[in-house]
């Protein structure tokens, strides 16, 4: 049986790289996390309010109300809603950038239409005439109409029509169907201004609505327009972990989220002139690898190797073998600035939304995209000669991975095994049959970040191993996907770790037991998958033996995601507690209260073994309720 990389081995590599950090006298997240202990209890509980300058007000038994009279629930609720806004705004702004790229794509420009069929089917959703029109005219109108989703004055978001009828009614009945994306964010900020909403239920309700504007709005557009522009992902083989860095090549890391940048860097790096120049300078070629969600984007469309996830970003630079790291937006440590200065590494930032000290800023816009990508690749190549070989240490460990299971790809794989007398092609019915018969017990979407509050990657990996052992299919995105990849769980050989049922299914369909569905905006793929499965099964989505899990989440984006997954009707299991526990009412609302509105809620446990057990029990309870 194959030997899979363990978390202990990853930690061993990480420790070795920390010796380099010591040698160059730079701090890393481990030392800074230690310095930040113990965290402020008011902050952790969400009961510090600094919304107006009469405060900050902190809730204690002796001072149960702020100066204005806001209580713990109001303060924790407002803080929580603001974190949802932060996440929804970030994802949706990413989606907006991609919509702008679509609106300006051209046949002879840097950005072209790769998936015409998807472009046409999306245009139809927006009531755009497609017959006999040039695909670029359609794309431009689609981009423009999509941009209006951010601020349209009347109605609700177009993509809500993709949800099941029951969900659409549930959202309408609870008055949480999102209108325009920017409106939900703005309204939430207005509601949480001093002197406005103090009712926790109303704050939660707006949280659900704002999060839906992300999941069924901005994120969904980010995903689908990326597919139109750069291709809908199909299974492709790649490798993961720091061993993908190559000491003999010019190493370039693409970091962040928006594929509009990374796609251009990949394109530029393939131009023979740069490889030739790299060879002139003594390198064997150019090696592009990814970090964080950008890594997922380029891995699933080009097979670009994955250097690692969120808490691995400093380790990547600490190898001393990175000529250049280029980032756009989100999840970029400011620590990369001073860290890259300890090496020859160029740290290039490209977005006015993520301006970071000690980086070299090169503004990246659709009109200068390829030109600037070439400039960045050239900077990296010329930097190869500046590498200090005394500081170079690249851990050898890496694992094979098959990535890129978009909904379209999953259907295609399922079509390949349809052998019943009834035609099931183009549907999830073979998957539904496996769930009904119990060969598969259920499915879990494991997503989200790393967080120093728990042992990095351990929660992701141990939960996945236990679930697949119990015949539960796992789908992953974001940094969770990279944790899985580093542990070898995206390799088809990971079937060996499955229970008999899941193993059989994986062998038949020829898939790994943990399916890579993309970056964090691609959680929109997961909610669409679950919606279609519910529809084709003929049951409500909250009845499915399907749940979400974010065992190591840390960002506001993750709070937005968790809320839209719950609003979609899927219970969501969290390994890190949301910062609202200073209010019993808020804790009750997020775990139980939302169930009355949307039929799902959070289950929280910081002990990953117990959380995993709860997931398995939760799935079995759903099965029992269905009588299967």
Binding site for ligand BF8 (CB under 6 A): 257, 292-293, 309-310, 330-331, 448-449, 478-479, 519-520, 555, 557-558
**Cβ 588 to ligand SF4 shortest distance, Å:** 21
User: Which residue lies nearer to ligand BF8 by CB, 244 or 446?
Assistant: 446
CB 454 to ligand BF8: min, Å: 13
Q: For residues 52 and 202, which CB has a smaller minimum distance to ligand SF4 in the complex? A: 52
* Region near ligand SF4 per CB under 6 A, out of 65-73, 239-247, 456-464, 521-529: 65-73
Alpha helices in 232-368 (DSSP H): 259-269, 272-280, 292-302, 313-318, 336-341
Among 6, 9, 52, 493, binds ligand SF4 (CB under 6 A): 52
**Which residue among 22, 23, 33, 54 contacts ligand SF4 (CB under 6 A)?**
54
DSSP 8-state symbol, 214: I
Site mask, ligand SF4, residues 192-231, x = CB under 6 A?
A: --x-------------------------------------
Residue placing its CB nearer to ligand SF4 in the complex, 153 or 195: 195
Q: Return the DSSP state at 359.
A: S
Q: Rounded to the nearest 10 degrees, how much is the dihedral formed by the CA atoms of 398, 551, 329, 146?
A: 120
Task: Please list, in sequence order, all residues whose beta carbon lies within 8 angstroms of the beta carbon of residue 134, skipping any fewer than 6 positions away.
Answer: none
Residue from the set 17, 47, 57, 576 that interacts with ligand SF4 by CB under 6 A: 57
Note whether 70 binds ligand SF4 by CB under 6 A.
yes
Shortest separation between residue 64's beta carbon and ligand SF4, angstroms: 11
68 contact, one of ligand SF4, ligand BF8, none, CB 5-8 Å limit per kind: ligand SF4
| Residues 6+ positions from 510 with CB-CB distance below 8 Å | 413, 416, 492
Alpha-carbon separation of residue 479 from 35, 285, 295, 367, 446 (angstroms): 25, 28, 9, 30, 10
> Which of 51, 90, 254, 611 is the binder for ligand SF4 (CB under 6 A)?
51
Contact at 8 Å (CB) between 100 and 147?
A: yes
CA 566 to chain centre: 16
Put residue 376 in one of left, alpha, beta given phi > 0 → left and psi -120 to 50 → alpha: alpha
For residue 254, the cross-strand partners are 290, 326
- 580's contact among ligand BF8, ligand SF4, none, with CB below 5 to 8 A by partner kind, is none
CB of 10 to ligand BF8, least distance (A): 16
Within 8 A by CB and 6+ apart from 372, the residues are 264, 350, 362, 363, 364
The partner in contact with residue 478, picked from ligand SF4, ligand BF8, none with C-beta cut-offs of 5 to 8 angstroms by kind, is ligand BF8
Collect all residues with Cβ–Cβ distance below 8 Å to 27 and sequence separation of at least 6: 21, 335
Q: Is 443:473 a contact under the CB 8 Å cutoff?
A: yes
Which range touches ligand SF4 (CB under 6 A), out of 66-74, 291-299, 472-480, 614-622? Answer: 66-74
Which residues in this chain contact ligand SF4 in the complex, by CB under 6 A? 49-52, 54-57, 66-68, 70, 75, 194
């Amino acid at each position: 049986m194959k030997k899979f990389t363990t978390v202990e081995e990853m930690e061993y590599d990480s420790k070795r790289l920390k010796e380099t950090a010591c040698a160059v006298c730079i701090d890393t997240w481990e030392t800074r996390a230690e310095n930040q202990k113990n965290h402020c209890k008011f902050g952790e509980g969400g009961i510090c309010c600094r919304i107006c300058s009469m405060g900050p007000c902190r809730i204690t038994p002796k001072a149960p109300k702020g100066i204005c009279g806001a209580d713990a629930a109001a303060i924790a609720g407002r803080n929580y809603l603001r974190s949802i806004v932060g996440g929804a705004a970030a994802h949706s702004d990413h989606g907006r950038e991609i919509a702008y790229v679509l609106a300006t794509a051209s046949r002879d420009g840097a950005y072209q239409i790769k998936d015409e069929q998807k472009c046409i089917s999306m245009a139809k959703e927006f009531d755009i005439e497609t017959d006999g029109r040039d695909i670029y005219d359609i794309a431009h109108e689609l981009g423009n109409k999509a941009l209006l989703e951010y601020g349209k004055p009347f109605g609700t978001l177009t993509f809500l029509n993709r949800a099941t009828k029951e969900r659409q009614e549930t959202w309408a009945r609870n008055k949480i169907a999102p209108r325009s994306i920017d409106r939900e964010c703005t309204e939430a900020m207005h509601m949480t201004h001093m002197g406005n909403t103090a009712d926790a239920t109303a704050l939660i309700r707006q949280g659900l609505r704002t999060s839906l504007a992300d999941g069924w709005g901005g994120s969904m557009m980010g995903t689908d327009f990326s597919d139109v522009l750069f291709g809908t992902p199909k299974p492709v083989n790649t490798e993961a972990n720091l061993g993908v860095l190559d000491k003999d090549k010019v190493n370039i890391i693409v970091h962040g989220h928006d594929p509009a940048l990374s796609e251009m860097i990949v394109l530029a790096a393939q131009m023979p002139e740069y490889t030739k120049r790299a060879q002139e300078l003594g390198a064997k070629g150019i090696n592009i690898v990814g970090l964080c969600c950008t890594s997922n984007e380029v891995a699933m469309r080009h097979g670009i190797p994955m250097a690692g996830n969120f808490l691995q970003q400093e380790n990547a630079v600490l190898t001393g073998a990175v000529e250049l790291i280029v980032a756009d937006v989100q999840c970029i440590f400011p620590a990369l600035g001073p860290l890259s200065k300890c090496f020859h590494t160029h740290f290039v930032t490209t977005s006015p939304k993520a301006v970071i000290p000690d980086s070299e800023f090169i503004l990246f816009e659709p009109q200068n995209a390829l030109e600037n990508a070439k400039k960045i690749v050239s900077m990296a190549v010329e930097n190869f000669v500046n590498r200090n070989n005394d500081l170079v240490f690249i851990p050898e460990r890496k694992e094979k991975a098959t990535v890129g299971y978009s909904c379209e790809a999953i259907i295609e794989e399922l079509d390949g095994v349809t052998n019943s007398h009834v035609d099931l092609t183009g549907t999830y019915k073979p998957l539904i049959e496996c769930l009904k018969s119990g060969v598969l017990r259920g499915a879990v979407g494991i997503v989200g970040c790393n967080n120093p509050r728990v042992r990095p990657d351990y929660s992701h990996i141990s939960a996945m191993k236990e679930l697949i052992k119990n015949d539960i299919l796992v789908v992953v995105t974001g940094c969770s996907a990279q944790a899985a990849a580093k542990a070898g769980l995206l390799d088809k050989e990971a079937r060996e770790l499955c229970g008999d049922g899941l193993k059989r299914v994986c062998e038949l369909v020829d898939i790994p037991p943990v399916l890579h569905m993309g970056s964090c905006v691609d959680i929109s793929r997961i909610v669409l998958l679950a919606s279609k499965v519910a529809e084709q099964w003929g049951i409500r989505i909250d009845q499915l033996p399907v749940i979400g899990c974010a065992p190591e989440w840390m960002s506001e984006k993750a709070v937005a995601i968790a809320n839209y997954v719950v609003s979609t009707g899927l219970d969501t299991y969290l390994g890190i507690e949301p910062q609202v526990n200073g209010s019993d009412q808020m804790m009750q609302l997020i775990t139980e209260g939302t169930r009355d509105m949307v039929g799902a809620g959070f289950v929280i446990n910081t002990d990953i073994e117990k959380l995993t057990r709860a997931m398995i029990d939760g799935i079995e309870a759903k099965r029992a309720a269905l009588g299967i």
